[in-house]
Every structure is written in structure tokens, then in C-alpha cells.
A and B are shown apart, each in its own frame.
Chain A
Amino acid sequence: MNRRFLKSLWMIPAFMLASLSLVTTASNADMPLKSSALSNTAAVQASAKFTQAASISVRHDSFQVPTIRSFLPVAYAIEKRATIKINGLSGETVVVSCQIEAVEGPHRYTDNSNVNQLDCNGGSTIEQQAVLSGSTIDRTVLLTSDMAPSQGIVSDSNVTIDIFYI
């Protein structure tokens, strides 16, 4: 009986120590607050409209003036007939402009109906045209240069035609 009693007495301090240990652990540790995962998302859309680039096909983009033997500075008309093809997206409107380089004197653009005759230099607008179905337009232009040629050859005068959408 005494032995049982002694055993029970020893158990009290052991239990107390265990309790003490638990309390100490809890009291020493600061209670951490977990970082909040507050976040948000947003969706951004992207858009684009793709249009086939307008372009011009010029069958002849240069012309050569034959040798002219003349001692008189007489105005001389040089004509070049060129066919241009406008490529673009049907329904869009394009502006065509042209420039003739390395040819002296006035430069003219004449459309195929000979109604409009406009200066053709410095990127002047020569035509504003809605691209029709089939996405191409054929135009015959007359590039005229009135000049008084000197002896020799004036050749490979470049004809530049630009086109862009409006």
C-alpha cells in the first residue's frame, strides 16, 4: 500500500513538469499571422485589323529618250505610256501619287480617259480611288515631259508612283 502511494506521489511532479513545459512553449512563441494571399486578376484583350497592303505594279518604271541630234533648243515632247496596276483590299480607298525624276521641264500625268491632266512631281496626288472588287485597278497613264533636249542621251528617268490607304 505504501509503495502504491509513493508511486502516485511521484506522478504528480512529473505531470506538473510536463504541463510547465507546454505552457512555456506557448508563452514564448508569438502567434504568427499568416500572410494574406489577397490578390486579384484582370484580363486584357488584344485586337488588330489586318489589311492587305496596297501596292502598284508598273509595267514600265523607266523610259529612255533616244539620242536627239539637234542644234536648236526646241521643246520636245517625250511620251511614255505605262500601265499601272493598283493592288489593294476591296472597299478601301487609296491615294496614288507619282514623281518623275531626272527629266527637266513640266511633267504630266494623264489618266486613261484623258480628262485629268495633272502635274506629276513631288508626290502630288494624282488619283484617289476606291479599290473595287477583285482588289486591282488598271490604269493607263501618259507621262509627258516637255523638254528641250541637249545633245546626248537622257535615259532611265525614273517614274515613281506611290500608293497608300486613306
Chain B
Amino acid sequence: MSDAKSPSSPASKQTPSVPPPGAAPMDIANRYARRTYMARILLDVIGRPAAIVGLFWIAVMVFFAVFGPLVATSHALIARTADGSLVFPVWDYITPVDFTLIFGSLATLAIFLCKLTPRLALVVAVWGLTTAATALAAWTKAEPRTIVGIGISPVAVAVILSVLAVAAGGYATWGRRTAGGVLVVLLPVILGFAAQKPSVGIELFDSSRQRLAEGEFVWARFAPVPFSPQDRMRDTREDKRFQPPGTPHLVLSRVDTAGEERAVIKEWSHIMGTDRNGHDLASRLIHGSRVSLTIGFIATGIAVVIGVVIGALMGFFSGWVDLLGMRLVEIFGAIPVIYLLILVAAVYDRNIYLMMVIIGLTGWVGYATFIRAEFLKLRQVDYVQAAIALGVPLRLVLMRHMLPNGITPVLVSASFGVAGAILTESTLSFLGLGLPPGEPSWGGALNEAVGAGEVYPWIVILPGTMIFLTVLAYNLVGESLRDAIDPRTTRAA
């Protein structure tokens, strides 16, 4: 579910601006009034310049997070071999996760652009299916690992999640012919893709460049940033560490032509310089965006779900449930998350998913108190009382009547929460307690600026700028959301 949430959320923010299909032309005021509270808030937010700037940057980051493996890679995207056939060298190095993200995002985009009707259901179904395909593709390679004492493989988790997602999608689309048809068409396509996916062996970053240099490729197109984040291969210089931006990266022919120097076939430049290990900084930053964004989205998603459930129960039932919940809130509010994460980093394996879970498990307190306060108010409101009196099932009272009216403050703090989670992740990576060493992350890149002995301005400035801009973007969106739902400011504006 949370997978489905991430790429669809920027898109879903745009939905209110599109008039509902088939709606008769109406005057604006009328249309505005007919929208739900939530849609009105979102519409209001989209109209604010600060939010536009923020959303734009987030969209750019989402693009990098999804298409990073195609934007920054050492392998040629497309090439023509000497015998005239077209090959796609980069395809061999697309991991199942990359595949899921790229395919799922494209499908989601298509669904929204083509205005296919049961949008949400389709999106959920597509993401479920792609995840399932990924799990299948990874099935043979993954080794089972022990998580919290239970031997369980990540693939099994992925399969369970995707089965749940497909079930949810199927449930929602039941009886709708469009969706059913699309599902039937998509299923074999995705499974076929997954089955075709060859397993990645040792990654030779130079292979495309060398094949071009040696004439095996007649013609090749490379990515805008033609370096993989782990690409440490050096063709010419002995020392590629801490090279300033613009340093050329030469590709020489391996074959000595007539006993002369090896000819320079092509040269690229490291547009943002290189880091301590000679990795291309631009590439690492692009790939790092995925880590930051997924941590932000998923950790906040976990926190929001837990917080909403606990807060709703506390607010609706009050009494001893409330008392118990408040104690839980106090306990988790008092734990300093950063120290807990340090502790986790000390005893567990370095693991991005664990980090998400921990940030999520400790971050729900704020959401729970917001929802609790809203629900305490809402349950006295006439329409809720009416719903209860009519015998509407509790599930529906909570989910359909109360939640949509109480969730807006959570939305605000969730967007600040994403910013906070990104900050936490980069802080931990900076301290060396975050991701496994070698994985690209913004905090890790920033860490290289400390203790380098000398100041390398691009290492100091660029990764920090990425963190800063992303956090700022979320804060701007959050601020706009807050202004939008705050009756005092709306009246003034």
C-alpha cells in the first residue's frame, strides 16, 4: 500500500484541477462548492506560489528517484553494434526494484493521463502486480534472512504485500469492465517481463565505454550523467579522488593503434566533481534521492497509519482506551528518536528498511494526538451522532464519516514529517550510522567533507544543498497546507 502511495501522491494533488469527466459546465463558484473539503484544501494549496515551488522540486526529486538508473548510469542506454542490431546495455543492470518503480510510475502516469475511470483501484492494481513481478524476478536470487527472530525472506514479504495490494485493487474494481480488462492485459505482460529479466552478474562499469572505444558499438547514446554511483573505474588518471567539477573523464581505445598512444575516443566530464572514492558526485546525488524520498514517504506513511489508528481509537472510545493510549503516546514521545536510532545502528545490520520502520514506529505520536483531538470534537457532531443512531457500522462511521473530516491537520504535519524523516536519515548517514557504506546517500556524501584534511567546496556544498532544498520543499508545502486549512489565515487572505 505504501508503495502505491509514494508516486501517486504528487499526481493525486493535481486531480482536483481536472474537471470530473462528464460533468456539465458550471460556474466556478458552484463547482468549487461541490468539491469535498479535502479537494478544496488541495486546490487552495496548489494555487499558492510557495507550494508550487515546493511541489515542483519534489516532482523533480521523484523523477530522479524513479528514473535515476536511467539518468545516471555508466552503461549506454541504447547502442548499435557493428552488425547493425540495436542493443540496450543498461537493461542488464536494471534491478527488480528499479523495474518496479519505473514501470509502476509510467503506468500510474498513463492511468491519470488517459483518465481511466476507477483510478485509485487501477493504480493500486498496477503497483501490486509490478511488485509481484519483482518478487518473482528476485525469487531465485534472494536468500532468506532473519528478521526479528523469524526466518523470513524479503521476497516472501514482497509477495504477501503484493497479494494484499492486488486483492485490494481487485476488490475495488470488482465488476468494472475497464479495470478488469486492463488487469487481464497487464498480467501476462508484467510476468513476461519479469521472467525475461536476466540476473545481474558482476557489474563492469567500463563495458559500454570500452565496447564503443573498441568499435564493437558503432554508435551509442549514454545517459545525461554517464556514471553509475558505484563506478570507480578510472580509464586514464591514477587518482580520480576529489576532482573538482568539470574534470574530464577520458575513454581511450584499448587497442594500440600503430604503436602510438592510445587514442582518446570520447570524453565526458564529471559535472559535479568526484568524491573521496572517485565516484561521480552528480550520479551519487541522483541515486541518493531515492533513499531520501523513500525513507521520507514510507517512514511517514507508517507513522501516519499507526498514529491515525491509535488516535482514532483514543478519540472515539475515550475512557480507558484513551488513558492507555495517552500513556503510549507519552512513552514514545519521551524516547529521543536519534538515540534510539543510534542504538539500533549499533546492534542491527545496516538496513534502510529497518530505519524506515524505526522512524515510523517512533514518529506517530504527533499524528495520534492530532487525530484524537479531532475525533473527540467530531464524535459530538450531529452527523456522526446521526450516523451512529442510524446503525451505520462502526467501521463506516470511523472511516467514512469521521476520518475525512479529521485528517487535514495530519496532512499538514505529515508533510513536515517527511521533511523530518529525510533530515533524520541524512543525519544518520552523515554520522556513519545510516546506510551500508558505499550506498549513495546525501548524508553520506556530506560526511566526506569532514576530516578530508582539505576543503573541497563541491563536496561541502552540493549534497547539503540537495538535503536543504528537499526539506525546504516539503516545509513550503506543509506551510501552505497549514495556511490553507487555518480559517484565520484564509479569512485574512
Binding between chains A and B: no
Q: Which of A's residues lie within 8 Å of B, judged by CB? A: none
Q: Which of B's residues lie within 8 Å of A, judged by CB? A: none
